[in-house]
Amino acid sequence: MTEHNIPNGLFRSSVDQMVDRAIEALGLSADAAKFIKATNSILQVKFPVSIQNEIHVFCGWWAVHSTHLLPAKGGIRFSPIVNQNEVEALSALMSYKCALVDVPFGGAKGGLLINPGDFSRAELRQITRRFAQELARKGFLNPATNVPAPDIGTSPREMSWIADAYKELFPEDVNHRACVTGKPVNHHGIPGRIEATGRGVQYALHAYFRCIEDGRGAACLENQKVIIQGLGNVGYHAAKFLQNEDGVKIVAIVERDGAIVDMENGLPVNEVKKFMAATGGVKDFPNVKYIEDGNSVLEMECDILIPAAMESQINGENAARIKAPLIVEAANGPVTYEADQILTTKGTVILPDILVNSGGVVVSYFEWTHNLSHMRFGRMQKRFDEVRGRHILTALESLSGQEAPEWMRLELSRGADEIDLVRSGLDDSISSAFDSMLEIMAKHERIRDYRTAAFAVAVNKIARSYYELEF
């Protein structure tokens, strides 16, 4: 992956150009474009932390793109290459993403300039808590106004540290649990949040294949050859679900130290993940082909290419050589505006990031409402549904004079667990968003690709909110 070669500002420019294209297709005014694209506020903090008797000064940001709805929502990434332009671009994407999937949040994003691998667990906890304190004291961490979540370099562990730091500062806030999402389940998180973004990638593919294959959906995914770039949280869960549940063949995995390929048999995703955890990379994974220049693998023949790593990985330099007929953007901004134009012109279908990787913010919304209600989903109706299911089963057996098979008995008499409700809500959110994209494409002759459709849906909603609030 070429994350160190991304020109500063390219990502932000690409996002703005994609929004401009949607605004032009909708025929919105230049004034609308100005206030939709503008970043509402950006906080930069620098704070000292004493580590092993030495003072380290850290720099971090929290960008709020839109406050047309509150709280503003976005992930916090810990990275040695994060910068203000990147954080602002990501905050804008969050606004459009939330609008597309009908999550009532504004868009925000945070970043801390740090290499997490340089510090011990205790040191990282100390740094994370200090960053959280800086955000909270300046009004940029609060259940009602700014709610972070995990991103690159962070996890449920860091979210629990942030939540504890906020609680210590504001112990009287009864909704303190909702100041951050993506927490561990035993620390007031919600089941399904860790894998939510990867699960959303799967649901986005289901929605797309239902559209193009006469409603057959997931069945058409079987034996599709897939190349995945990045086997982090998002890429791993997407690959695992697609392989285990839909029967796709993961033929290549691109990582920081190169790529591994098995076009004939496919790769065992779980085994590769275990190998990476033990060795730090994919090199020397047994019985597969290793390619040192991992990015060249993006240009290989396959049915579906899923970039799930960093932004700007497919750009003007390599776009013309991409052979995959379908690109599914699991990462934020993996395809630049220039590359998007090249690929669209030659007929490549791109499912855009603001749809494909929206699963994280959708389930974060569920976690946030779960925390505010102080009650798990399904608690009040699960037993009622089980009893009603048994009554229906009894009625069916009485009317038919036959005993129901065991599988039917189990299914009809089972009430939904919280994880079932989370997955159902996620599937519905992404499917509904995809349907809204199809609707706007049908209404506007100038909107012919899924990315422009997704941004058009989002921009329309945000523009209406601003006009209703300001005019």
Q: What is the CATH number of the domain that holds 65?
A: 3.40.50.10860
Name the residue range of residue 204's domain. Answer: 197-356
With a CB cutoff of 8 Å and minimum separation 6, the contacts of 71 are: 105, 106, 142, 143, 144, 145, 146, 147, 368
Q: What is the pLDDT at residue 1? A: 46
Task: Supply 268's token pair.
Answer: 């065992």
Is pLDDT at 163 greater than 60 in this prediction?
A: yes
Residue 7 maps to a domain: no
Cα-based torsion angle of the residue sequence 91, 92, 93, 98 in order, rounded to the nearest 10 degrees? 90
What digits encode the pLDDT tens for the residues 226-253?
Answer: 999 999 999 999 999 999 999 999 999 9
End-to-end CA gap in the chain: 46
DSSP conformation class of 414: P
- Predicted local distance difference test score (pLDDT) of residue 218: 56
User: Which residues lie across from 258 on neighbouring strands?
Assistant: 255
Q: How confident is the model at residue 426 (pLDDT cuts 50, 70, 90)?
A: very high
The reply to whether 392 and 459 lie within a common domain is yes
Q: What's the pLDDT score for residue 176? A: 97
Which of residues 312, 328, 356 is at a domain's end?
Answer: 356
- Cα angle: 326, vertex 327, 330; to 5 degrees: 145
Residues of the chain above pLDDT 70, percent: 96
Q: Which position has the higher pLDDT, 31 or 228?
A: 228
129 shares its domain with 236: no
Asked, as a colleague might, if the bond just before 71 is cis with ω within 30 of 0, I would say yes
Q: Is residue 223 domain-shared with residue 365, that is, in the same domain?
A: no
Angle at 265 between CA 259 and CA 266, to 5 degrees: 40
Contacts of 37 (CB under 8 A, 6+ apart): 16, 19, 20, 92
Q: Which has the closest alpha carbon to 76: 169, 181, 193, 176? A: 181
pLDDT in tens, 112-124: 999 999 999 999 9
Task: Tell me the C-alpha distance between 360 and 390, whole Å.
Answer: 35
pLDDT greater than 80 at residue 136: yes
- Domain-embedded: residue 129: yes
Q: Does residue 461 carry a catalytic annotation?
A: no
Cα–Cα distance measured from residue 291 to residue 283, given in angstroms and rounded to the nearest whole number? 8
On whether both 322 and 218 belong to a single domain, the answer is yes
Burial of 29 (0-12, 13-18, 19+ CB in 10 A): exposed
| Beta-bridge partner residues of 47 | 58
The total number of structural domains that make up the chain: 3
Residue in 37, 73, 97, 109 annotated catalytic: 109
Phi, psi of 331 (to 5 degrees): -85, 170
Q: Span 345-359, mean pLDDT?
A: 97
Last residue of a domain, one of 154, 189, 224: 189
- Per-residue pLDDT tens digits for 240-294: 999 999 999 999 999 999 999 999 999 999 999 999 999 999 999 999 999 999 9
User: Tell me, what's the pLDDT at 234?
Assistant: 96
Quote the pLDDT of residue 116. 96
In tens, the pLDDT along 371-420 reads 999 999 998 889 889 999 899 989 988 999 998 888 888 888 888 899 99
Examine the pLDDT at 217 and tell me if it is beyond 60. Answer: no
CA gap 339, 298 in Å, rounded: 13
Write down the pTM of the prediction.
Answer: 0.92
Residue pLDDT, tens place only, 97-113? 999 999 999 999 999 99
Asked if residue 290 and residue 372 are part of one domain, the reply reads: no
For residues 328 and 201, is the Cβ–Cβ distance under 8 A?
yes
- The answer, yes or no, to whether residue 4 has pLDDT greater than 70, is no
pLDDT at 459 > cutoff 60: yes
Q: Are residues 120 and 174 in the same domain?
A: yes
Mean pLDDT of the chain: 93
Structure tokens at 391: 């009554």
User: For residue 183, what are the CA distances in angstroms to 61, 91, 191, 459?
Assistant: 21, 20, 10, 30
Both 204 and 341 in one domain: the answer is: yes
Region of 400 (left: φ > 0; alpha: ψ -120 to 50; beta: rest) is alpha
pLDDT > 90: percent of the chain:
82
Domain with 255 in it: what CATH number? 3.40.50.720
Q: Which of 190, 207, 152, 101 is nearest to 423 (CA)?
A: 190
- Assess whether 253 and 345 both reside in one domain: yes
d(CA 129, CA 133): 6
The string of pLDDT tens digits covering residues 308-330 is 998 999 999 999 999 999 999 99
Give the length of the chain.
Answer: 471
What is the per-residue pLDDT for 8?
Answer: 52
| Residues 349, 368 within the same domain | no
Could you give the CA distance from residue 461 to residue 469 in angstroms, rounded to a whole number? Answer: 12
Res 5: pLDDT: 46
